[in-house]
Chain A
Amino acid sequence: MANWVPLWLHRLGSPPVFYRFAGAVRPWALGLALVLGAVALYAGLFVAPADYQQGDAYRIIFIHVPSAWMSLFIYGAMAVAAFVGLVWRIKIAEVVAMESAPVGAAFTLITLVTGSLWGKPMWGTWWTWDARLTSELVLLFIYLGIVGLYHSFEDRRQGARAACFLVLVGAVNVPIVHFSVNWWNTLHQGSTVRLVGPSHIEASMLWPLLTMMVATKLYYIASLFARVRADLIASEGGKAWVRDLLVREGGAA
């Protein structure tokens, strides 16, 4: 049995180890995200052919769809971390859940605004109370509620527990967002890229989309790790390892 995996995960549960691990991984994740994101944007905006119906307006897909995927993916990751944090009382899992929420909110905001910018020329309206759009807006409010609840407690740990619980309750919205285009007759189109079955998209348009998907995933890791590091300095401020860090980082702050 490969028991080094659980061993490694166990060690990563220790805040000082996670802090160092996050600090080492973050620049690589961010750098790779920037390179892949630049390639995907260039290919999506200039290399991929125009759509036969939507012309060049469809190019918003290369931002809108990866951001929308991230808005749901981050919620999933956050819900798993919140569950682990609540059940096994692992502090780092609570921090990962709490610090995922602002990144998820950022991608949800991008999804809503770029969707609006796409809707105006194609549907003739900036906004409509369609099932997909409304459930995505609710997702943004849930993210903001989680961030707000976390920061409204004097005791950070208590705030994290309450907000982790809200994460699990709010998870009911995730399948609603995903399946809204199938369950209701919406103005929003159905899925273009599918895990099961053939995608309704040409290869020259698909690869920039998938490249951007990878870039946004890496970006999430980089942003999350920067946030966890900032959070740990405040929440572990009384611990010896943070004191040591202060001495070592000298005048850097």
Chain B
Amino acid sequence: MSIVSSVSDDGKELVISIQGRFDFSAHQDFRNSYEALTVQPSHYRVDMDETTYLDSSALGMLLLLRDHAGGNTASIEIINCSSDVKKILTISNFEQLFTIH
């Protein structure tokens, strides 16, 4: 598991990439990736291109991010999901809370 994040030049977008398994062990790194920023981005992207599996604590972490980014007004995209990852997100009705690609 490793988390890599990058902010766009204008500071408006944050991309968080999760590699490997997304579970509780990613919690600290995942949180740091958005809490440590001095300027709040207006848009978030969670890149799951290299995410192999996720569990329910990962779902909790995504929700933490969503509340941090403004809850119902948050603009968060989850991109590059594999079919396995997408299945888990869909079962938990996450498409109602996030834009999933």
**A complexed with B:** no
Which residues from chain A sit less than 8 Å from chain B, CB to CB?
Answer: none
Which residues from chain B sit less than 8 Å from chain A, CB to CB?
Answer: none
